[in-house]
Homo-oligomer: A and B are copies of this chain.
Amino acid sequence: MTYCVASMMNAGIVFASDSRTNAGVDNIATFRKMKTFERQGDRVIVLLNSGNLAVTQATLNHLDLAIRRETGPNLMSVGSMYEVAELVGAALRSVRDHDTPFLIQSNVDASANFIVGGQIFGEPQRLFLVYSEGNFIEATAETPYFQIGEVKYGKPIIDRVITAETSLNDAIKCVLVSFDSTMRSNLSVGLPVDLLSYNRDCLRIGHTWRFDEHDSYMTSLRKSWGEGVRQAFAELPNPDWS
C-alpha cells in the first residue's frame, strides 16, 4: 500500500507521501509518489499517487509527454486547476483502458488514485481527489484534506487537529504524526516520507523535505509525540468503579 495526504488551509497546502511499494512482502521497494510541475509566478501543481505502480507511472508519463509534445492542452498550458484534474483523470482513464484487459487476466488490481493540488495564476489554490475511474471531487472548507492509500490509521489525528485556520507548520506536524501512527500499525507504509509545503498565492514551491529513518527532526517529533501521548494517557481520569 501507500499513504498520501494533502491538506489545504487558508495559509496554503501541505502535501505528503510515503515511498514504500510492495507486490507481496518479498517485493518491497522505494518509489517517490510525489510529482511536481512548477513555473514560478504562473503555477505550482503537485500530484500524489497511490495504487498500481505501473498504472500511476504510465499516467504520469502520459502527462509528461503531453507537455513535451505541446500538441494539445497539458498541465503547463491549461488555465485552471479544474482542467488539471480533468487531464489527470483522462490520462488515468486512457492507461486503464489500455492495460486493464491484460491485468484482469492475472487478477491484478489496476486501480489507482491521485491527489491533485496547487494554484494557477488568476485562480485561488485548489485541491482535488481523482478517483480510480477518472472522475474527481474538490476539497472545500468543511473537508479541507484528502487521503489516499492506507488512510484509516492516520485519520483520527487529522480529524482532531486540522481546520482551515491551521498554520502550515502545525499542518506539517500533524501530517507527520499521521504518518507515524500509520507506519507503527501498518508495515506497508514506510519511510522516507516526502513533504512539500505551498504558501498560498506564492505561485512557487515553498519547501520540500525528505524524511528518512536517520532524520533528526522526524526522530525528535516521533519521540515527543510518543511521550505526549503516554502523558495524555497517564492523565486520563480513573473510572469511578476502581
Interface residues of A (CB under 8 A from B): 152-153, 155-157, 159-161, 169-170, 172-174, 177, 181-182, 184-186, 207, 209, 217, 220-221, 224-233, 235-242
Q: Are B174 and A238 in contact (CB under 8 A)?
A: no
A sample of 9 cross-chain residue pairs with beta-carbon separation below 8 angstroms, ordered by A number, consists of A152-B153, A156-B156, A160-B226, A170-B233, A173-B238, A209-B241, A224-B232, A228-B233, A231-B232
Q: Are A221 and B233 in contact (CB under 8 A)?
A: no
Closest to A237 in B: B220
CA distance A221 to B174 in the complex (A): 22
Q: Are B233 and A231 in contact (CB under 8 A)?
A: no
Q: Residue A229 contacts which of B157, B184, B186, B227 (CB distance < 8 angstroms)? A: B157
- 7 closest A-B pairs by beta carbon, nearest first, are A228-B232, A152-B152, A156-B181, A155-B185, A173-B236, A156-B185, A220-B237
In the bound complex, residues from chain B placing their C-beta under 8 Å from that of A161 are 230, 233
CA distance A152 to B147 in the complex (A): 15
Q: Residue A230 contacts which of B159, B160, B207, B209 (CB distance < 8 angstroms)? A: B160
Closest to A220 in B: B237
Q: Are B242 and A169 in contact (CB under 8 A)?
A: yes
Q: Residue A233 contacts which of B174, B185, B238, B242 (CB distance < 8 angstroms)? A: B174
Chain A interface secondary structure, helix, strand, loop or mixed? Answer: helix
CA distance A13 to B188 in the complex (A): 30
In the bound complex, residues from chain B placing their C-beta under 8 Å from that of A236 are 173, 177, 221, 224-225, 228
Known: A152-B152, A161-B233. 7 other contacts (CB 8 A): A153-B156, A156-B156, A156-B182, A156-B184, A160-B229, A224-B236, A231-B232
CB distance from A206 to the nearest CB of B (A): 10
Closest to A161 in B: B233
In the bound complex, residues from chain B placing their C-beta under 8 Å from that of A185 are 152, 155-156, 159
CB distance from A57 to the nearest CB of B (A): 27
CB distance from A107 to the nearest CB of B (A): 20
Q: Are B228 and A169 in contact (CB under 8 A)?
A: no
CB distance from A3 to the nearest CB of B (A): 12
CA distance A5 to B161 in the complex (A): 26
CB distance from A205 to the nearest CB of B (A): 13
CA distance A236 to B159 in the complex (A): 18
Closest to A241 in B: B207
Closest to A168 in B: B242
